[in-house]
Structure 1
Amino acid sequence: NCPFFSGSFKVERRPLLHDLLDPLQLIFGSEENELLIIQLYNLASESAISSTCNNLTRHLKEKQKAVIKKGWLLKVLEVGAGTGASTLPFLNHLLDFANQTQTRIEYIFTDISPAFFIKAQRTFDQLLNEKNQQNLVHISYRVLDLNVVDINSTVFNSELFDTILDV
């Protein structure tokens, strides 16, 4: 048991080792496990995300000054976004940036499985309802398996994005 967590993972290994249990079911199979995952993400990424958000905001402001046009479309790709726990601070910063600069943002949220998308969308809905009053930020959800999809394909070509996040 880790002293930072209120519980511990309890897993019967046999079904997992014999492909009788989906690994996603292992992670999200119980409310207790889900809460532990959230605690782990929060603990591990809080300071790194804060630092990255500040750097991202500075980068975006510099990029926007270089573009010098109102209504600029910023395209962001997040790779391996999971349930969106790490996305939330970035999205919060991007919404502030969009509202301050009138920048439109197309945010593409990706993960290897669509199973994460519903939870992520629920996570973002409240923030979007509060801060996206001008409808400047649009989020789309796409499956991206880097082992299968060519990252240079027309859909995920890195040159089509202003910023790529891999948290």
Structure 2
Amino acid sequence: NCPFFSGSFKVERRSLLHDLLDPLQLIFGSEENELLIIQLYNLASESAISSTCNNLTRHLKEKQKAVIKKGWLLKVLEVGAGTGASTLPFLNHLLDFANQTQTRIEYIFTDISPAFFIKAQRTFDQLLNEKNQQNLVHISYRVLDLNVVDINSTVFNSELFDTILDV
């Protein structure tokens, strides 16, 4: 038994298994379920995110040393970003990095469904209003289904990005 999923999840399991219910309805169907999902993400990713943020900082500093021109643009692609719960620490870290180094950052937030974008954008807008006073970080939201789109084609060509995150 998972302590995070009780009540409505047990009731809806049959509907999920028989394709009578969209999994997104279960996750976002109630405030209680949404809070439980956020707690689960936080527990699962807290130490991994901290370690990854440290590695990301080292990576970004090396990238910046390689390009010593003012107005350098760092392009970041996040694949499968969901509601942005795991993105928030990275974004906070990137905002600090951008402000300290005057680096412009283009952050492409992707997921398989645009249903995730509304909540993520609300959360990120609040952080951007607080920490993006120099307007160095720009976030765009795009649908990306890796089962349909080739990651090496057109807009999502991996060579167009300095950093690709898949949390």
TM-score class, shorter-chain normalisation, is: over 0.9
Supply the distance in 1 between the matched residues of 2:15 and 2:79 (Cα, whole angstroms).
29
Question: Does the aligned pair in 2 maintain the 1:6–1:36 contact within 8 Å?
Answer: no
Supply the distance in 2 between the matched residues of 1:122 and 1:149 (Cα, whole angstroms).
27
Given the superposition, is the C-alpha separation of residues 3 and 33 from structure 1 closer, same or farther in structure 2, using an over 3 Å criterion?
closer
Question: Does the aligned pair in 1 maintain the 2:72–2:104 contact within 8 Å?
Answer: yes
Question: Does the aligned pair in 1 maintain the 2:82–2:111 contact within 8 Å?
Answer: yes
1:51 deviates by 0.6
Percentage identity across aligned positions? 99
> SS at 1:44's partner residue?
helix
Indicate the structure with greater helix content. 2
Question: Does the aligned pair in 2 maintain the 1:80–1:112 contact within 8 Å?
Answer: yes
Residue range with higher mean Cα deviation, 155-164 or 30-39 = 30-39
Residue range with higher mean Cα deviation, 15-24 or 88-97 = 15-24
Given the superposition, is the C-alpha separation of residues 6 and 20 from structure 1 closer, same or farther in structure 2, using an over 3 Å criterion?
closer
1:10 deviates by 3.7
Given the superposition, is the C-alpha separation of residues 7 and 64 from structure 1 closer, same or farther in structure 2, using an over 3 Å criterion?
farther
TM-score between the two structures when normalised by the length of structure 2: 0.94
Which ranges of structure 1 fall in alignment gaps of 5 or more residues? none
1:20 deviates by 1.9
1:54 alignment counterpart: 54
Number of matched pairs: 167
Supply the distance in 1 between the matched residues of 2:164 and 2:77 (Cα, whole angstroms).
5
2:121 alignment counterpart: 121
1:97 deviates by 0.6
Supply the distance in 2 between the matched residues of 1:9 and 1:19 (Cα, whole angstroms).
14
Supply the distance in 2 between the matched residues of 1:39 and 1:2 (Cα, whole angstroms).
13
Supply the distance in 2 between the matched residues of 1:145 and 1:165 (Cα, whole angstroms).
15
TM-score between the two structures when normalised by the length of structure 1: 0.94
Q: Please, what is the CA RMSD of the aligned residues?
A: 1.8
